[in-house]
Every structure is written in structure tokens, then in C-alpha cells.
Structure 1
Amino acid sequence: MSEHNNMHDLDETADKTVAAINKVDAKVTEMRQRRMADPDTLGDKALKMIIPSLAGLVGGKLFQMVWNSVMARVHPRPDDDVKDQQQGLMMSVLFAAASAAFGTLLTRLSDKGANSLVHHMQIKRDR
């Protein structure tokens, strides 16, 4: 009887193993189909990532340069330092909010531009 139980246990183990392998196979097939249906090449994906990142980086630096230039004109003298210290927190918050808003706008616009560029490249590639 123990030989019969061992065979039964072996059959159950084999069935579970086959079911697990079939599940993995189905997942791999699904992932391959999704990859094949994706029109983006590796270069397309890189462009979609790099363009908004560079635009955000360059835009942030430009915003900071403009901000510093404006602040240097508004408070050019050292005797304004006491007044600047009092307004420092408010100006820091204002800078952070304005910089974040500008960065978000720039990133969204460059993201749309990158997507449009990639879409145009895909149309040309498919011809």
C-alpha cells in the first residue's frame, strides 16, 4: 500500500509541476505578445526618457539663473541683507513653488514633444 501512496504523491507532484510550468509559459507568451505589439524601439524609449529629462535639467538651470539675476537687481546693496533675511523664508518658498511649476510645465511640454517626435519617426519607419 505504501508503494501505491508513493505513486499517488508522485503523480500529484508531477501535476503541480506541469501546472506551474504551464503558468510560466502562458506568462512568457503574454509578455512576448505585448513586446511584439509595442511599436517603440529601444531608441524610441530612450528618446522619450532623455528629451524631457534634459529639458527639465536645462530649464531648471535657466530658471535659477533668471531668478538669481532678478534677485540681484531687486536687492543689489549689502545693506539690504537685514531685509533679505526677514524675507528669506518667503522668497525660498516662492522660488520653490515657481521653480516646481515651471519644471512641471516644461517637462509636460517636452514629454508631449518627444512623444510626437517618436510617433512621427515611427510613421516614417513604417512606410
Structure 2
Amino acid sequence: MGYASCMKRSRSSFPVFFRSALGVLAIFGLAGCQSSHGLKVQETPRTLLYSYVIANGMARGRMMTEDLPPAQVFNIVTTDKNALVAILAFRDKPTRSTLRQAGQKVEDFIGAIEQPAQPLSPAVSGPILLPPPLTPGFIH
């Protein structure tokens, strides 16, 4: 008996079957809950702020990784500002109405982020021109 054979453990198929069965039951259980009642997240001040922070990160990531046309960037920035203003309005006057309005503005912000990108025109998407390198002894 070599070293490698001593290190192998025999496994029965029961634990694998048991884990698979539990996974399938969990999926069916979740699907059943979602189909009968629908998924509804209760809007609270915490979920509102959490959603805004997540959307803000999504917007940053999208702007860093994609060439978006200026109109789309402007739309994302504008809906971001509108969501933040609505959140601040809720902070100053915490009512169901202002919470609902802020939630709608955050949803609008997420919608703006998820809009498919339109291709840039060749004039906008060309190479970025950098200034020439500084020469030694040149004073600005």
C-alpha cells in the first residue's frame, strides 16, 4: 500500500444524494413561495438607503467600464441627483408619501443605469489626445 492509497477516503453515495435532494427541495420551496405570494420587499428607510448606495456603485461601475454617450451619462447623473434630493426630502419630512417618492426616484435611477448603451459616434469615441510631454527647463 502506497502513500497515495492511504490518503484516499472512500465515500458513499448517500451524502451526495442527500445533499442533492436537499438542494432540489430548497429550490422548489423557494419557487413555490415566490409563485404563490410574489416577492415583495417592504420599503423602509434602511432599504431605501441600501438601494441607493448599491445603485450608486452600479452607476460608477458602468461609467468606468463602458463608453456611454454623453446624453446617457447626463441621464444617469440627473436621476442620481433626483434620487438623492428625494432621500434628503424624506430625511427632513419622514412620511409614507416622501418614503414612497424617494423609493420611486431610486427605482428611476436604477432604470437609468440599466438602459442599454447606445454606440458612440466616431467623433466622440476616437482616441483621447494628450498634451505633449513637458520639456526640461520649460516653466508653465
TM-score by length of structure 1 reads: 0.30
Q: Which has the higher helix share?
A: 1
* Structure of greater Rg: 1
Q: Which of 1 and 2 has higher RCO (CA within 8 Å, sep 6+)?
A: 1
